[in-house]
Amino acid sequence: MEAIKVRELRKSFGDFEAVKGVSFEVGTGEVFGFLGPNGAGKTTTINMLCTLTKPTSGHAEVAGFDIVTARDDVRRHIGLVFQDQTLDGYLSAEQNLRLHAELYGVESKVVKPRMEQVLRMVGLWERREAQVMTFSGGMRRRLEIARGLMHSPRVLFLDEPTIGLDPQTRASIWSYIRQLQEQEEITIFMTTHYMDEAEFCGRIAIMDGGEIVALESPERLKEAVGADRIRIETADDERAIAELGERFDLEATVSEGAVSFAVADGEEFVPRLFAELEVPIKAVNLSRPTLDDVFMSHTGSTIRDAEESSAKNRNRAVMKAMGGRR
Amino acid sequence: MSTDAFVAPPTVEVRVPPRSWRSEVRAVKIVWRRELIRFQKDRMRIVTSLVQPLLFLFVLGSGLQQLSAASTDGVDLKTFIYPGVLCISVMFTGMFSAASIVWDREFGFLREMMVAPVRRSSIVVGKVFGGATVASLQGLILLALAWAVDVPYSLGLVLGVFALQLLLAFSITAFGVMIAARITQIQSFMGVMQMIVTPMFFISGALFPSGDLPGWLAVLNRLDPITYAVTPMRTLVFANLDLSAEASQTLNPPITWFGWEVPIALQVFMIFALGMAMLGIAIAEFNAGD
């Protein structure tokens, strides 16, 4: 059975179409990743699937229940870990979990063992009686994951679960997710904009501008890009791009301060590049395809550039809203 | 990592209990309990919310005593103000309890409650009951001060005062939660509450007898819901005192509407009905929200 089925799901906020009709399916037990820059529509999609936002049109089922007509049933079968923390700092870790268990109607006799199980998993069992306000950001996020699992959900939604955390905590959160996938009958749906994390997912949907532009396993996505990628830093990027086009018939773009382009066999090409390019080259970097390249091949920019330009657009929109001065 | 690689044996069974009215009761109970736990942990709040009633009772009461000794028929002004102060302490604590819903929203915890698979009404009811309980517990501390203002204890007094405080606290908290559904910023919320609750408190006659008031004030006094909480409270406390008929008439005149004496029972019922109405509006408002 499919854990999540989505058909032509759309969401508009006024004139702005945040999600432009996405369709996909997620199998039971899968770890499914949504990858894309901020503002791509990932959070809006996840909010619709979690029944927090009503879709403008389209249809979706989570754990076999319709997200619009069976809202409470969906909620009972899903766990949520939000981007912003939603713990009660005045309560202890244990009290936060107990409150959750009561709200979700967990059977009383299951509450204690389940609490111990999830708290041990995230390494907070020893701190269970401490007030949450004394916890670090990483500990809070781990506690939220434990809480999201308290009621044994069928689908766990993680919205940017590792954002703002140090690498060590990020690694441990990933190890819980893998452990979960082995031990429980659970489907994990997550959003991220870290390329390296997306690699852990079974399948990835790349989202850009409210649409899914690619949906495959990370390996297949990388294979599809095929070519090696070369990045060069030059004294004059524009001339370099022009020359690359004339001499080698290559299409190059500037991203993150370097000229980048794809060639079939990078190792053979680099010596030719040095011999024939007239623009002085300061540095050269040859790499096998990464998810970043996948993202780039589908959207035409790196994820960081996409974020910067969407931030710029937002700023521009804010300026406009404030009266269009300057 | 491929998705079909996990055929690992100890798969934990998914347990989703069926839904029933019991889950709603559990939700109300846990939201209510959370208010109590938080109150218990917040000693500072217990102390600070006592300051205002104590100022009214001992500073204003003792200070004005010199002016009013002649007109209170021998009753100490502190004793006279005491029932009003029992009301004010509950009002302000109830207001703070309602404010916690605004805090919860600001710190994200409201979201955790709102996405739970229970009715929003259960959350709102738990919150209002919790706030009312906390406020009347606070009121109990003031009840302990009765000896200091020459009010003798009796079982009737303690139970009666507690019940009235619970009722008033419920209505005020319901009012606050109703406002909190609309006003999402803590500063504005406290501002609006102060702006509404403080005049209601002053006009209610908590600090003066509502007998021979100038016309405009008498009208406002009769319109003010708090009047109908203060009068029963005062009647209850005075019933425990040995007062002359004149003193009782001057200090605790019955509330009249165009000459008709409003029965105490009706006054108490009005507070209850108002509280229920506001609770209903609060639930409707939270249900309408996304």
CB atoms within 10 A of CB B58: 16
pLDDT at B1: 41
Q: Which two tokens stand for residue A151?
A: 């009621």
Residue in this structure with the two tokens 């623009």, named with its chain if needed: A279
The gap between the terminal CA atoms of chain A, to the nearest Å, is 56
Question: Which residue among B2, B26, B41 sits closest to A90, beta carbon to beta carbon?
Answer: B41
Q: Chain B contacts of A105, Cβ < 8 Å?
A: 17, 19, 22-23, 26, 117-118
What is the ipTM score, two decimals?
A: 0.81
What residues does A204 pair with on adjacent strands? A33, A216
Chain A residues with CB-CB distance to B17 below 8 A: 105-107
pLDDT tens for A168-218 read 888 888 888 888 888 888 899 988 877 777 888 899 998 888 889 889 888
Interface test with A, best of B35, B112, B118, B287 (most A CBs within 10 A): B112
A137 touches chain B (CB under 8 A): no
The reported pLDDT for the residue numbered B9 is 36
Q: What is the DSSP letter of A134?
A: G
Using a pLDDT cut of 90, give the percent of chain A over it: 29
CB contact under 8 A, A105 and B42: no
CA distance A249 to chain B (A): 38
CA distance B288 to chain A (A): 13
| Nearest-CB residue to A82 (from B15, B37, B111) | B111
How is residue A57 annotated by DSSP?
Answer: E
Query: Chain A window 114-133: which residues touch B at a Cβ cutoff of 8 Å?
Result: 131
Which chain B residues have any C-beta within 8 angstroms of a chain A C-beta?
1-3, 6, 8, 10-17, 19, 22-23, 26-27, 29-30, 34, 37-38, 41-42, 104, 107-109, 111-113, 115-118, 290
B169 neighbors B139 (Cβ within 8 angstroms): yes
Q: Which residues of A touch B115 (CB under 8 A)?
A: 50-52, 75, 80
- How far apart (Å, rounded) are the C-alpha atoms in residues A22 and A14? 19
The upper half-sphere exposure of residue A7, i.e. CA atoms within 13 Å in the direction of its Cβ, equals 7
Q: What are the tens digits of pLDDT across the range A216-250? A: 888 888 777 767 778 888 888 888 888 888 888 88
Across the interface, do A202 and B3 touch by the CB < 8 Å criterion?
yes
Q: Where are the domains of chain B?
A: 29-288
Q: What is the DSSP string of chain B?
A: --GGG---S-PBPP--PPP-HHHHHHHHHHHHHHHHHHHHH-HHHHHHHHHHHHIIIIIIHHHHHHHHTTTTTT--HHHHHHHHHHHHHHHHHHHHHHHHHHHHHHTTHHHHHHTSSS-HHHHHHHHHHHHHHHHHHHHHHHHTTGGGGTPPP-HHHHHHHHHHHHHHHHHHHHHHHHHHHH---HHHHHHHHHHHHHHHHHHTTSSS-SSS--HHHHHHHHH-TTHHHHHHHHHHHHTTS---HHHHHHHSPPPEETTEEPPHHHHHHHHHHHHHHHHHHHHHHHHH--
**Per-residue confidence in pLDDT tens, chain B, 290 aa:** 444 433 333 444 555 556 678 889 999 999 999 999 988 888 887 888 888 888 888 888 888 887 776 666 777 888 888 999 999 888 888 888 888 899 888 888 888 898 888 889 999 999 999 999 998 888 888 888 888 888 888 888 899 999 999 999 999 999 999 999 988 888 999 899 889 988 998 999 888 888 778 889 888 988 999 999 999 999 999 888 877 777 777 778 888 888 888 888 999 999 999 999 999 999 999 888 76
Q: Check CB contact under 8 Å for A85 and B108.
A: yes
CB contact under 8 A, A52 and B113: no
Q: Residue A24's Cα: distance from chain center in Å?
A: 16
Look at residue A61 and tell me whether its pLDDT is greater than 90.
yes
Report how far apart, in Å, the C-alpha atoms of A48 and of each of A8, A30, A51, A166, A280 are: 12, 20, 5, 29, 51
Instruction: List the structure tokens of A299.
Output: 């959207």
Predicted confidence at residue A317, as pLDDT, reads 57
Mean pLDDT of the A125-149 span:
92
**Whether A53 contacts chain B with CB within 8 A:** yes
Check: CB of residue A89 under 8 Å from CB of residue A134.
Answer: no
Place of tokens 């079909």: B4
Q: How many CA atoms lie within 13 A of B121 on its CB side?
A: 10
How many A-B residue pairs are in contact by the CB < 8 A criterion? 114
**pLDDT attached to residue B126:** 95
Sign of CA pseudo-dihedral A193, A199, A201, A207: positive
Q: Pairing state of beta strands A155-159 and B260-261?
A: unpaired
pLDDT at A163: 78
Check B30 against A30: CB less than 8 A apart: no
**CA triplet A178, A179, A180: central angle to 5 degrees?**
90
Under 8 Å between Cβ of A163 and A85: no
Chain B residues lying within 8 Å of A185, measured CB to CB:
11-14
A51 Rama class: left (phi>0) / alpha (psi -120 to 50) / beta: left
* Rg of the Cα atoms in chain A: 23
Does A185 lie at the interface with B, CB-CB under 8 angstroms? yes
B226 in Cβ contact with B171 (< 8 Å): no
Name the band, by pLDDT with cuts 50, 70 and 90, for residue A324.
very low
Q: Which residues of A touch B37 (CB under 8 A)?
A: 90-91, 95
CB contact under 8 A, B117 and A75: yes
What count of other Cβ atoms lies within 10 Å of the Cβ of residue B5? 11
